[in-house]
Amino acid sequence: MDKQKLGPIVCVLVIFLSVLTLRGQEKSSMEMRGGKTMMQIYFIPFSIETYVPITINDIVDKSLYVIWFTKDHPLIPYFQRTLQMSPTKRKLDDRVIRMKVEFGQNTFFVDKEGGVLNKESGKSYRLSKKQLDEIENKILYFSGAIDVNAAKGLKLLR
């Protein structure tokens, strides 16, 4: 095969394998040319019924969508604001976790019904059906997208 044709194929294969390798990491510390990710989302659509529980401990491994934001993006403040908008006393249902969102040192979990837990503070919040639908649409919009320039700078910390 011609070297000019092989180069792009190898590049795509390396990026694909890098994404697969990063996908399975439980504690995903990632470096982007000296900085960490701004936000990481692990997501299963809220409307999906599962036959086995999905908990805080396995949402990363069972997620159908994984999106990492490696630089400032309008969705970062949107998620920070929306997830903490409506405080509640209702506790998270740890058997039906559908989303994990990490912002640096803050981690939020969201259950199927819109219950939200800030892991670090222990505070609970509530999302409306409209907010759940909006979040799901925003995440699904990124399905299949890879920022190749950002992927070139990814380096897994050990």
| Model confidence pLDDT, tens digit, residues 4-28 | 544 454 444 334 434 444 444 434 4
Burial class (CB in 10 A: 0-12, 13-18, 19+), 137: exposed
Cα separation, 73 vs 145, whole angstroms: 15
Quick: pLDDT tens for 101-143: 999 889 999 999 999 999 999 999 999 999 999 999 999 988 7
Question: How remote is the C-alpha of 34 from its chain's centroid?
Answer: 21
